[in-house]
């Protein structure tokens, strides 16, 4: 179409077309757009639907509308050759292209309101009461999870929290499969049959098989059997692929799916699909005329949605022995195209390669893609291996979700750069593996250069007090040697708010630049009036500038213990105690940790096993409630066994430690 019934422009709230352009957009979508666009340019006429008068004029000619695109102001219609010629003459029709299809699609297309949410709340707060450390519970996913170092994120409490992932595929068996039935699905839509069921249709048995497998690599959560890369994320599912044929309308469905997912506020999409060759008589894509990163319709969709702040991860394709090159939409300039590696870490023989004609190096990066276990739709508990770039792409999508969970302000080009710089062939990228094998550990280190990041916190109440722990990752040189005398710290504040009562309490304390941060809030649980079922907002902010680092929602259990984080560290009981010496035994230095649940006068001394006083670390110092860590540099202290003694007012605590030389 030539226009939307009004000249092309950005739209402000005062514009009469603004409400129509935004009625389908969620607040989450607007917030994500605001990361990449000026506040006065969030909305434009590209967000308007096809002008109703133009749509009706085409229907009046007898054409059947099969799919549409707001962004590109296009309609895909089914019609005869005579009407096709008439369409060309309509004054509002800019151009007409023929797909040459001889097969009519049976599912009726109607002007419809796509669901914002189906079946579940759009909240990203998830109550994983049986959560906790998951790195020893990967099951069949253990090998590939560890190959890309997902354990580095999961162990510190980063598992996709707060991220909304969109998956475009051929269907999903997420309701009944054991690996997926706990996935937090907030919306789904079938763009092939135009309904809200993304599972198998009666006439297309097994269509859900591919999407079920792909989804499990990201969302799977069956501890001991299978855990995906970002199981704490939320999901929106778009069925865009028709497994019965290969036709251009699937590419139109793909763009329609992108538009819908973008309107929900999705942060990252996974597309383990590709379009190169279509069933005759439809015209296949040409490397020379279509695959330049910006011409094919699906690739245009990826490029535009990336401008709106959404990251698009796409499989590179399994066509090396046939078509050879990365197809649509992986070849899009803005797509993160993922190659597949074999078990030896080499490019898999089927993985599509990049073309010298591409304006950007393709593929972008690589991930494991052979003998990758995932959920099978053949049975509710089936898990089996498969291979392909369809396996590699969801692994990278999971990594992107972990990065965005760590820093929700990340923009698509920042995500891409972090992936490039942290991957295995960063210094020597090529058209087989791009920048190489992804690495979660290195990616998180790179991300910490933008700002301090943390995992999800753990919180525990005891005798009316609150204890909070969280893992901190910063950009300190050499990742900070925790036994070095010159450890740097910075002040962080934890604030806990009971959503039911609106009451807040907080604690500020110096914390390490890298490692476990800990806060103690005496009488905090009493102050908040916590009851089972209460929703607690836990916020961690930089004390100096009040910049937020992480916010999460925890749900109180009957025991008032909230183990929702995957952090592989226990929460210390918020009571005065001598916790431990780390390391123990030790060589050059150790740190003696203790907790105070009240303001007290303390001393910390070292004694030999014969009771002789060796040295004093703290002498008669008044300390506030909290967690403390004192550095012991033994200098000329001989090897052997020693005791360290903590005196808190009139209470005394002893523990044993050993020095080795």
Q: How confident is the model at residue 205 (pLDDT cuts 50, 70, 90)?
A: low
Burial class of residue 513, CB neighbours in 10 A (0-12, 13-18, 19+):
buried
The domain in which residue 630 lies consists of 577-659
| DSSP code string of 512-573 | ESSEEEEEEETTHHHHHT--TT-EEEEEEEETTT--EEEEEEEE--TTSEE--S--SSPPPP
The answer on 199 and 307 residing in a single domain is yes
Please tell me the predicted confidence (pLDDT) of residue 517.
87
486: domain CATH number?
2.60.40.10
The two three-digit tokens of residue 156, written as one number: 């510190």
The answer on 46 and 188 residing in a single domain is no
* 207 has pLDDT over 60: yes
Find out whether 417 and 450 touch, Cβ atoms under 8 Å: no
* 378 has pLDDT over 90: no
Residue ending a domain, choose from 447, 467, 495: 447
Find out whether 589 and 485 touch, Cβ atoms under 8 Å: yes
Q: How far apart are CA 52 and CA 38, in angstroms?
A: 29
Strand partners for 372 = 386
The answer to which of 125-134, 289-298, 495-504 has the lowest mean pLDDT is: 125-134
Answer whether residue 41 is part of any domain. yes
* Residues 465-482 pLDDT 10s: 888 999 998 764 333 344
* 206 has pLDDT over 80: no
Answer whether residue 98 is part of any domain. no
* 484 has pLDDT over 60: no
Number of domains in the chain: 4
Q: How far apart are CA 520 and CA 230, in angstroms?
A: 30
The answer on 436 and 459 residing in a single domain is no
640: domain CATH number?
2.60.40.1930
The answer on 239 and 344 residing in a single domain is yes
The answer on 173 and 304 residing in a single domain is yes
Answer whether residue 424 is part of any domain. yes
| DSSP code string of 79-147 | --HHHHHHHHH-TT--------------SPP------S-SSS-S------TT-S--TT--BTTHHHHHH
The two three-digit tokens of residue 400, written as one number: 């992107």
The answer to which of 70-79, 301-310, 590-599 has the lowest mean pLDDT is: 590-599
Answer whether residue 546 is part of any domain. yes
Find out whether 164 and 265 touch, Cβ atoms under 8 Å: yes
* Residues 240-292 pLDDT 10s: 998 888 888 999 999 999 999 999 999 999 999 999 988 888 888 888 888 88
Strand partners for 386 = 372
* 21 has pLDDT over 90: yes
The answer on 485 and 399 residing in a single domain is no
Answer whether residue 100 is part of any domain. no
φ and ψ at 309, to 5 degrees?
Answer: 100, 5
Please tell me the predicted confidence (pLDDT) of residue 478.
38
Q: How confident is the model at residue 340 (pLDDT cuts 50, 70, 90)?
A: very high
Q: How confident is the model at residue 461 (pLDDT cuts 50, 70, 90)?
A: confident
**H or E segment to which residue 21 belongs:** helix 18-22
Answer whether residue 109 is part of any domain. no
Owner of token pair 């836990």: 538
Please tell me the predicted confidence (pLDDT) of residue 130.
41
Answer whether residue 131 is part of any domain. no
| DSSP code string of 25-73 | --HHHHHHHTTTS-GGGS-BGGGSPPPHHHHHHHHHTT-EEEEEETTTT
* 339 has pLDDT over 80: yes
The answer on 505 and 394 residing in a single domain is no
φ and ψ at 542, to 5 degrees?
Answer: -70, 120
The answer on 390 and 527 residing in a single domain is no
The answer on 419 and 463 residing in a single domain is no
Whole-prediction pTM value? 0.88
Please tell me the predicted confidence (pLDDT) of residue 477.
39
Higher-pLDDT residue of 414, 203:
414
Q: In the predicted model, what is the mean pLDDT of the chain?
A: 88
Answer whether residue 2 is part of any domain. no
The answer on 27 and 80 residing in a single domain is yes
Q: How far apart are CA 55 and CA 487, in angstroms?
A: 66
Residue ending a domain, choose from 417, 447, 477: 447
* 25 has pLDDT over 50: yes
Q: How confident is the model at residue 336 (pLDDT cuts 50, 70, 90)?
A: very high
Residue ending a domain, choose from 447, 473, 489: 447
Please tell me the predicted confidence (pLDDT) of residue 558.
56
The answer on 263 and 326 residing in a single domain is yes
226: domain CATH number?
3.40.50.200
φ and ψ at 483, to 5 degrees?
Answer: -100, 0
The answer to which of 61-65, 353-357, 478-482 has the lowest mean pLDDT is: 478-482
The answer on 260 and 244 residing in a single domain is yes
């Amino acid at each position: 179409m030539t226009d939307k019934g009004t000249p092309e422009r950005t739209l402000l709230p005062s514009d009469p077309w603004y409400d129509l352009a935004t009625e389908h957009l969620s607040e989450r979508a607007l917030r994500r757009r605001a990361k990449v666009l000026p506040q006065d340019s969030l909305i434009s006429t590209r967000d308007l639907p096809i002008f109703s008068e133009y749509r009706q004029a085409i229907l009046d000619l007898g054409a059947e509308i099969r799919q549409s695109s707001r962004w590109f102001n296009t309609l895909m219609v089914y019609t005869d050759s005579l009407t096709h010629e008439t369409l060309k003459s309509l004054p509002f029709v800019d151009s007409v292209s023929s797909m040459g299809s001889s097969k009519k699609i049976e599912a009726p297309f109607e002007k419809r309101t796509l669901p914002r949410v189906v079946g579940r709340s759009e909240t990203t707060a998830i109550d994983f009461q049986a959560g906790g450390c998951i790195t020893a519970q990967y099951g069949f996913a253990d090998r590939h999870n560890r190959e890309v170092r997902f354990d580095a994120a999961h162990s510190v409490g980063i598992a996709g929290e707060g991220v909304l992932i969109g998956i475009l595929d051929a269907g999903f068996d997420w309701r009944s499969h054991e690996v997926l039935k706990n996935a937090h699905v907030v919306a789904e839509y079938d763009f092939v049959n135009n309904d809200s069921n993304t599972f198998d249709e009666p006439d297309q048995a097994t269509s859900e098989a591919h999407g079920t497998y792909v989804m499990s690599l990201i969302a799977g959560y069956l501890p001991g059997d299978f855990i995906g890369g970002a199981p704490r994320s939320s999901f929106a599912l778009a069925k865009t692929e028709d497994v019965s044929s290969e036709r251009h309308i699937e590419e139109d469905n793909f763009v329609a799916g992108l538009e819908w997912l973008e309107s929900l506020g999705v942060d990252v999409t996974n597309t383990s699909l590709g379009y190169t060759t279509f069933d005759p008589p439809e015209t296949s894509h040409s490397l020379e005329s279509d695959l330049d990163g910006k011409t094919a319709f699906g690739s245009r969709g990826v490029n535009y949605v990336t401008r709106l702040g959404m990251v698009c991860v796409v499989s590179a394709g399994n066509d090396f022995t046939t078509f050879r090159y990365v197809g649509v939409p992986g070849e899009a300039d803005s797509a993160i195209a993922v190659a597949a590696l074999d078990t030896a870490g080499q490019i898999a023989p089927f993985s599509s390669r990049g073309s010298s004609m591409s304006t950007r190096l393709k593929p972008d990066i690589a991930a494991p893609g052979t003998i990758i276990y995932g959920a099978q739709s053949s049975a509710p508990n089936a898990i089996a291996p498969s291979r392909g770039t369809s396996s590699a792409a969801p692994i990278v999508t999971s990594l992107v979700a972990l990065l965005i969970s760590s820093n929700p302000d990340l923009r698509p080009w920042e995500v891409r750069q972090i992936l490039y710089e942290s991957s295995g062939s960063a210094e020597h990228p090529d058209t087989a593996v791009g920048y190489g094998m992804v690495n979660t550990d290195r990616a998180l280190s790179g991300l910490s250069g933008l700002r301090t990041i943390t995992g999800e916190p753990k919180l525990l109440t005891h005798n009316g007090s609150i204890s909070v722990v969280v893992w901190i990752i910063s950009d300190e040189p050499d990742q900070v040697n925790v036994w070095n005398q010159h450890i740097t710290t910075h002040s962080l504040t934890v604030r806990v708010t009971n959503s039911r009562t609106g009451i807040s309490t907080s604690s500020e304390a110096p914390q390490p630049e890298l490692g476990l941060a800990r806060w103690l809030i005496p009488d905090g649980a009493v102050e908040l009036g916590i009851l089972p079922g209460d929703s607690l907002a836990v916020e961690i902010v930089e004390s100096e500038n009040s910049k937020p680092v992480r916010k999460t929602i925890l749900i109180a259990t009957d025991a008032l213990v909230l183990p929702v984080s995957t952090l592989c560290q226990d929460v210390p009981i918020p009571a005065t105690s001598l916790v431990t010496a780390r390391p123990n035994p030790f060589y050059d230095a150790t740190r003696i940790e203790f907790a105070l649940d009240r303001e007290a006068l303390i001393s910390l001394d070292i004694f030999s096993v014969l009771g002789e006083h060796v040295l004093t670390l703290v002498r008669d110092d008044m300390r506030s409630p909290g967690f403390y860590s004192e550095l012991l540099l033994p200098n000329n202290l001989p090897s052997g066994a020693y005791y360290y003694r903590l005196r808190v007012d009139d209470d005394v605590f002893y523990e044993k430690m050993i020095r080795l030389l």
